[in-house]
Amino acid sequence: MKTVKHALLIARKDLALELRTKESLNAAGAFAIVILLLFSFAFDPDSEMVKEIGGGLLWLVFAFAGALVFNRSFARELPNDCLDTLLASPLSPASLLTGKALANFLMLLAMELISIVIFGIFFNVNWTHRFGELSLVFALGTWGISMLGAVFGALTVNLRLRELMLPIIIYPLLIPLLIAAIELTKLLLSNQAPTPSDFLWAKILVVFDLVFTALAIMLADTILVN
Amino acid sequence: MRDKLAIGLAAAASALLANNLYQMFMVLPDEALQGAIYRILFFHAPAAMVGMIGYFVALTFSVLYLSSKNFLYDSLAASIVEVSLVFSLVNIVTGSIWARIIWGIWWTWDYRLTSALVCILIFFGYLVMRRAIDEPTQRARLSSALCIFGCVDVVIVWKSIEWFRNQHPGPVLDFRTGGGKMDPAYSHVFWLNFLAILLMGVALVLIRTRQEATAREIDSLRRLAHTAA
């Protein structure tokens, strides 16, 4: 219970900082719009094909823009030795990691909401008819990305070439989650009835989230405490 | 002692490999449907198996490092990942050559091929990260954590292959099918070649572990000299 309370405290601190400076959200949001714009040159944005590749396009945007948020997540604690102070405080490393993941999750969801509205306008896709299910897929996919983002943001925070290391490590690990999220988003955007294999993709999302959240909490001491 | 063991294992692997090559090219006939190219599978599948076993042995050593803080386990984990990565590359390259002849394409985005590539990318990231960290304790701690995450991820990717339809041929080895899919003459050479590749892998790991330990020793002496100055 204490861990949850502390995690919420960290998330609140990060969100308050972000709302004051808006550095990650502005960068990630602008980056997402630029990528969506660039994709419009890669294929005919009015075609039926958009519904087929829309899921992939959106999740690539989320994953790329997410890396900007994760890079800042722990790096913003480096000036004035804030990270050392947080680690020396009574907070457990697990609550610090979960709190950071929660803040990342909410920031990414905000960015995703902006992105999908712009995607709908730019590519003429109606994404509202199964909004409830789409929100669930976004939430599950984003939690997995955010948790791994927090873990590897912490892991690479003191490394040389931090900005380069994070994508090299995190994207291959995210592949099962991205495949599952892309398949489900594609299904929901094209408003088709789900097949049994679609439920398996949903299971992969849930299993991925549970396994990596548990692993991150178990290894939080190893990742954060030197 | 370790050097002698490595030399002994390498010699045994070479002798076994020479015998297997003789069996493959001089004794076994061409396969009815695939012709001569099927012989590449004697290297393709064992390389994948040795590579995959290696990742999970590295996972064990990573967990052992985290629980004991003994640098030998870290050196072993890093060496095994390096050697396994080489075998995974052998697997991908030999598979591509086989696919070009049989399927007419070098690559297809089948789940099993994709997961083999993902596996390579995950552990390539592990090696890149190790090189980016100078401090040995931090390097060992963080790379052990990454190895654990990587191996768990490989399991999820691997399971997804079995759940979905794919283009890759189904299992033929007896322990996967319950028997009857592979001619015993082929199966005998296959397992001998698996043994040869496994022995070669262990010999390479022993050599690489010694290099890792020496590099760490030199590094700590350099740090000591730097501190004294």
pLDDT for A51-77, tens place per residue? Answer: 778 888 899 999 998 888 888 888 888
- pLDDT-based confidence at residue A12 (cuts at 50, 70, 90): very high
Is the per-residue pLDDT at A98 higher than 90?
Answer: yes
Give me the pLDDT at residue B82, please: 95
Q: Write down the pTM of the prediction.
A: 0.85
Say if CB A98 and CB A7 are below 8 A apart.
yes
d(CA A41, CA B107): 27
CB contacts, 8 Å: A158 with chain B: 138
Would residue A43 be called left, alpha or beta, if left means φ above 0 and alpha means ψ between -120 and 50 degrees? Answer: beta
Is the per-residue pLDDT at A93 higher than 80?
Answer: yes
B180: tokens are: 């009857």
Cβ within 8 Å, pair A211-B142: no
Is the per-residue pLDDT at A133 higher than 70?
Answer: yes
Total of domains in chain B: 1
Regions of chain B with pLDDT less than 50: 165
Residue B109 φ then ψ, to 5°: -85, 50
Cβ within 8 Å, pair A204-B160: yes
For residue B158, the tally of other CB atoms under 10 A from its CB is 17
Q: Could you tell me if residue B146 is inside a domain? A: yes
Is any Cβ of chain B less than 8 angstroms from the Cβ of A198? Answer: no
Would residue B30 be called left, alpha or beta, if left means φ above 0 and alpha means ψ between -120 and 50 degrees? Answer: beta
B window 36-95, beta carbon within 8 A of A: 66
Tell me which chain A residue has its CA closest to the CA of residue B120.
A172
Range of the domain at B48: 2-221
Is any Cβ of chain A less than 8 angstroms from the Cβ of B131? Answer: no
Give, rounded to a whole angstrom, the gap between the first and last alpha carbons of chain A: 25
The distance between the two most distant Cα atoms of chain A, rounded to a whole number of Å, is 56
Residue B31 φ then ψ, to 5°: -75, 145
CB contacts, 8 Å: B122 with chain A: 172-173
Is any Cβ of chain B less than 8 angstroms from the Cβ of A176? Answer: yes
User: A68: Cβ–Cβ under 8 A, 6 or more apart, which residues?
Assistant: A24, A27, A28, A31
CA–CA–CA angle A58, A161, B143 (5° rounding):
90
Q: How far is B23 from chain A (nearest CA, A)?
A: 39
Helix axes B71-102, B41-68, angle to 10 degrees: 160
Cβ within 8 Å, pair A215-B149: yes
**A79: which DSSP letter?**
G
Range of the domain at A144: 2-224
